[in-house]
Amino acid sequence: MKRFAGVFAAILFAAAMSGCNTMGRQPKLENAAINPVALKPGDNAAITVKVVDKHKIVQRVVATVVEDQRMKFALRDNGISPDEKAGDGVWSYSVRVPFMAPPGNFTLEITAYNEKGDAINVKKGQKEIGPLTATCTWSITYPPEGAPAEASAEGSQSAAAPAPAPAEPAPAAAK
């Protein structure tokens, strides 16, 4: 019995000294993208991010335009276009660039939320903890003067472009 207690105490001591790291199992957001990255008013784009989450902590994923925090898009993993397969961990949303969108470079911040609607906090450094986020960038340009906007928007889409999407962003669930 003393031998068992000694072995148990040694294991506990080793775990305490090494710093038991359960944060290695934290969820991750990978491969955040908006495709295509160069857009014109009227173009469609697909927002995607891979969620790696062994413990099914992530229940909602929202993309926010950093330059205009009112623009939020609720991504889905439900198999409905542009999402290819339900439950595969790739969350997606299709958006159409409004015709009144200003030109420039923009950043999309994608945040993961739990079932309570709280942003999921993860370890980001030695002592830093913050929300589980990923970012991607894109740009909006206007067609050259004199070029018809409709022809320009059609010419910028390829055969692999996502299906048309509503002009308004999907409402994000309130926290």
Summarize the confidence of residues 78-91 as an average pLDDT.
95
CA separation for the pair 97, 129 (Å, rounded)? 34
pLDDT digits (tens, 9 = 90+) for 22-72: 445 789 999 999 999 999 999 999 999 999 999 999 999 999 999 999 999
Residues in Cβ contact with 18 at an 8 Å cutoff, skipping those fewer than 6 apart: none
pLDDT at 90 over 70: yes
Which domains are assigned to the chain? 25-155 (2.60.40.1930)
pLDDT digits (tens, 9 = 90+) for 146-175: 666 554 444 433 333 333 344 444 444 444
pLDDT at position 150 is 52
Nearest to 49 by CA among 68, 28, 64: 28
| Better-scored residue on pLDDT, 3 or 13 | 3
pLDDT at position 13 is 41
| Better-scored residue on pLDDT, 171 or 91 | 91
pLDDT at position 5 is 52
Residues in Cβ contact with 147 at an 8 Å cutoff, skipping those fewer than 6 apart: none
pLDDT band at 125 (very low <50, low <70, confident <90, very high): confident
pLDDT digits (tens, 9 = 90+) for 10-29: 444 443 333 333 445 789 99
Alpha-helical runs (H) found in the chain:
2-18, 149-155
pLDDT at position 143 is 77
CA separation for the pair 83, 162 (Å, rounded)? 10
pLDDT at position 52 is 96
Neighbouring-strand partners of residue 136: 108
Summarize the confidence of residues 94-114 as an average pLDDT.
95
